[in-house]
Structure 1
């Protein structure tokens, strides 16, 4: 964005401020939270009750999904975290690397069972999301994994 394209504001303008993809790093007292966006940390007040400041959870602290997870979307739909195998071209080269995708647990009029999406797309289109189940990780005390 160039300086000419950047919007300018005047005293008295009414604006709505959104901080996208902020991660809560501390909540030391009611009405305050600390969030990180990239490498920048902000301390923010958020008043309780019917105020012009809104803070909505898009995903819990367990984000991002892992293979084997079960997540619930805003409409109650269930999604499994599944590793999709790499795709190879005719010459044997990798066309698409193995990756984690979210697959629906059941088919609906809007979603067919073979449909899958990236965790980020699922969050954008069906969020907020909540973790329903995650298998415990095996103890890796020797550090080889």
Structure 2
């Protein structure tokens, strides 16, 4: 089950909606409150009942958290509490551009930060080294 967060962009039937908040109502089930852009350019706020049998929701774009994109030496935490360390895999002899990867505390493999954002959102920046270091 996807956990939606403010700023996510979703497609519901033929409308694109920016999520303002996600609500778990004990009587009505999961609800997304969001803003849809109408054909005339106006914006309309409304609710989507995710547990309704005819509701089809597709996540179009995940909102990026504060501090995004990750930098080398960052420490991030995902929705399950898992810790992710940001490392730079680039070769300084080849490029000046960083190649940031997330390394989780449970193994040594590096993961694409965008993929971690898709599967582990919301992410929270826990610590960032200041630029002077």
Counterpart of 2:108? 114
CA distance, structure 1, for counterparts of residue 13 and residue 83 of structure 2: 36
CA distance, structure 2, for counterparts of residue 133 and residue 44 of structure 1: 37
Structure 1 gaps, min length 5 = 1-13, 21-30, 34-41, 89-93, 108-112, 140-145
- 2:102–2:113 contact (8 Å) kept in structure 1: yes
Indicate the SS of the match to 1:52: strand
CA distance, structure 2, for counterparts of residue 132 and residue 82 of structure 1: 15
- 2:89–2:99 contact (8 Å) kept in structure 1: yes
Counterpart of 1:59? 64
Pairing of 1:18-97 with structure 2 (within 5 A):
18=16, 44=43, 46=45, 51-52=47-48, 58-86=63-91
CA distance, structure 2, for counterparts of residue 32 and residue 43 of structure 1: 14
Larger Rg: 1
Counterpart of 1:131? 125
Between structures 1 and 2, the one with greater strand share:
2
From the superposition, tell whether residues 46 and 118 of structure 1 become closer, same or farther in structure 2 (CA, over 3 Å): same
Indicate the SS of the match to 1:128: coil
- In the TM superposition, what whole-angstrom CA distance separates every residue of 1:39-65 from its partner, at most 9, and x where no partner exists? xxx885546xxx3289xx743221111
Equivalent residues, number = 90
- 1:72–1:130 contact (8 Å) kept in structure 2: yes
